[in-house]
Structure 1
Amino acid sequence: MVTTADFHNARILIVDDQETNVQLMEQMLREAGYCSVTSTMDPHSVYALHRDNHYDLILLDLQMPGMDGFQVMEKLKELKTGDYLPILVITAQPGHMLRALTSGAKDFISKPFDMMEAKTRIHNMLEVRLLYKQLEHFSRKMASLALHDELTGLPNRRLLMERLSLSIAYARRNKRIMAVMYLDLDGFKLLNDTLGHDAGDTLLSMVAARLVAAVRQEDTVARLGGDEFVIALWELSNADDAVDLASKVMKAVSQPYSIQGRDVSMTASVGVAIYPTHGEDVETLMKSADLALYEAKRTGKNDYRIASQPAGDAHS
């Protein structure tokens, strides 16, 4: 839904080499309530202006010396900012209208123009443009939701698998090691049942932020669901690096939390699998890390375990 505020705040650029025409258009737009209007009398500057400001509407005169409106439109196509060029051309030549539309313009105003008609065409074109922007934003949001956990904003399982595959491929190609760290919270269910789901969600979000802060920028922290997190450690110098990071993660999680006015304590158990020692593909590494996590929880929680063997060899 496009609101009145959306219209009034829309970015508009006037391009005309005649100062009187620019002033006339500016006055008309101000009277119509538009607040973000820019103008230029230099057609050569339009490309850079639109690249930097992403205008919602460009009012473009076709007849200008040095560089006419058709040349401006061709230049703007090089920006590749999407399929929608928000150009409304202004011309006194009826024969130019069809050519302008086939060159990329979305509508036209004939000179001398009727004020009411011009305002209506501007309003209608802005409505289409603003709806198009909302659709783009919605599409990007849906794409992000498909790859991220809604509660914490962390990558979800799908994006984690992609990152792990890339990390393994890099390690294999460069004969390096990497690791997978499987983590869950000790006693999370009890806290959730005692303080309620809102408190549980708050805690999960706080844990997510601490995990991201505890690891390196190149590492990936993902939430698989519930209180389960996985960290893909991109590249390690040696296996001790994974141990150091596991200790750092556990220490970060175990710091006190303040939730709903209460001090809350929480610890984590961690299982670590290292490529290529504990697996050479995503599935095997994840299973190895999961088994190591189970062992850490079985032997007392608030601890970490390094996988003892590849998951596929566990019962051999």
Structure 2
Amino acid sequence: MPSRQDILNAKILIVDDSPDNIDLMEEILREEGYACVSSTMEPEQVCPLHREHNYDLILLDLQMPGLNGFQVMKGLKEIEQGGYLPVLALTAQPSFKIAALEAGARDFISKPFDLLEVHKRIHNMLEVRLLYKELAQYSKAQQELALHDALTGLPNRRLLEDRIETALQHAARSHAKAAVMYLDLDGFKAINDTYGHAYGDEILKMVSQRLLASSRREDTVARLGGDEFMVVLGEVHSLSDALGPAAKLVEVLNEPFFINDLTLRLSTSIGISLYPDDAESVDALISIADYALYEAKRSGKNRFCTTGTARQKTTSKLPLPSSQAELAPHR
């Protein structure tokens, strides 16, 4: 529930063609303790101002020259897009009260102003508006959690598939290609079995950081679960554009991981599929990359492999540690 201080710090815009009415309302709000109050006598400026400042409350006079309050509310509805329209209508016409509510206003204040009514209606509407924003933020946070891996913060499979679909659409429009790289860590189980899942979780977080640092900003790095990750490269022109990044990932994940007093080492195997050469659907590209990953594992690990309908290529960048996961005290 919003606190009184939250309510007093809410952003308020007064819209009226009468400077006397604006001065009176500003004085009423100041005396009550509202700290973020602004005003305008130009109704055509309300929508641009709301886009910029996202007001918590707009005190809107309904009878103004040029744009009237009803026309202003029509523009505000387009900005809010189904959200809570934070308009408190100001009117001296009793017939306008119901019309204002039908047009989208949440409440109204009658002119001439009754001080107690003004305070109560403004407070109540701000309380509802701020509560609505809290719920919207909570909903957004829940949505983010549903689309991201809880441990690493990377996109999960659900969001990944949407990102791949978007990459394919962009590639098709620009007559380019897209690459899917399926990664599996070599030797991760040995770390989990030897040192426990807490160390394993630290490794997974460090792996995700290295993958992000070694990828372009426009690429997608996702965790599928366990020790499996995926990197999606958009706007590539040929298979060779994916081989360099794959080799780089093999290299950076072969570098030691330092956790507490230990130096832990593992490696990664990568399978690559290419759109549209290998397939044109998300599921098919993932399946082909998965098969290429299997080939990389079968061929000795610590390498990447690509498998297409008319070609197969396997490349190894670094020697695999003899124990898959080399465990040694950190000096």
Question: Do Structure 1 and Structure 2 share a fold, with TM-score over 0.5?
Answer: yes
Q: Which residue of 1 aligns with 2:303?
A: 303
More displaced stretch, 260-269 vs 99-108: 260-269
After the TM superposition, list the runs of 4 or more consecutive aligned residues in structure 1 that deviate by more than 6 angstroms.
172-175
1:290 Cα offset (Å)? 2.1
1:15 Cα offset (Å)? 1.5
CA deviations 1:41-66 (Å, max 9, x no partner) are 22232121112111110111233344
**CA–CA separation in structure 2 for the residues paired with 1:173 and 1:63:** 50
Amino acid at match of 2:138: F
Q: CA RMSD in A?
A: 2.9
**CA–CA separation in structure 2 for the residues paired with 1:294 and 1:8:** 61
**CA–CA separation in structure 2 for the residues paired with 1:174 and 1:41:** 48
Q: Which residue of 2 aligns with 1:313?
A: none
Amino acid at match of 2:233: L
CA deviations 1:259-314 (Å, max 9, x no partner) are 4475544432212233455445433432332233233334443222233768xxxx
CA deviations 1:223-265 (Å, max 9, x no partner) are 1011100122224322222221111112232344444475544
1:187 Cα offset (Å)? 2.5
Q: Which residue of 2 aligns with 1:179?
A: 179
Q: Which residue of 2 aligns with 1:254?
A: 254
**CA–CA separation in structure 2 for the residues paired with 1:245 and 1:235:** 13
**CA–CA separation in structure 1 for the residues paired with 2:99 and 2:177:** 60
TM-score (norm 1): 0.84
Q: Which residue of 2 aligns with 1:269?
A: 269
**CA–CA separation in structure 2 for the residues paired with 1:85 and 1:224:** 40
**CA–CA separation in structure 2 for the residues paired with 1:103 and 1:280:** 48
Q: Which residue of 1 aligns with 2:55?
A: 55
Identity among equivalent positions (%) equals 54
Give the secondary-structure state (helix, strand or coil) at the position aligned to 2:75.
helix
Are residue 68 (structure 1) and residue 42 (structure 2) matched?
no
Q: Which residue of 1 aligns with 2:244?
A: 244
Amino acid at match of 1:24: L
Distance 1:43 1:279, change over 3 A: closer
1:196 Cα offset (Å)? 4.4
Contact 2:277/2:308, CA 8 A, preserved across alignment: no
More displaced stretch, 172-181 vs 263-272: 172-181
Distance 1:233 1:63, change over 3 A: closer
**CA–CA separation in structure 2 for the residues paired with 1:261 and 1:30:** 59
Are residue 122 (structure 1) and residue 122 (structure 2) matched?
yes
More displaced stretch, 73-82 vs 215-224: 73-82
**CA–CA separation in structure 2 for the residues paired with 1:62 and 1:227:** 61
- Give the alignment of 1:175-254 within 5 angstroms: 176-254=176-254
- What is the total number of aligned residue pairs between the two structures? 311
Are residue 45 (structure 1) and residue 45 (structure 2) matched?
yes
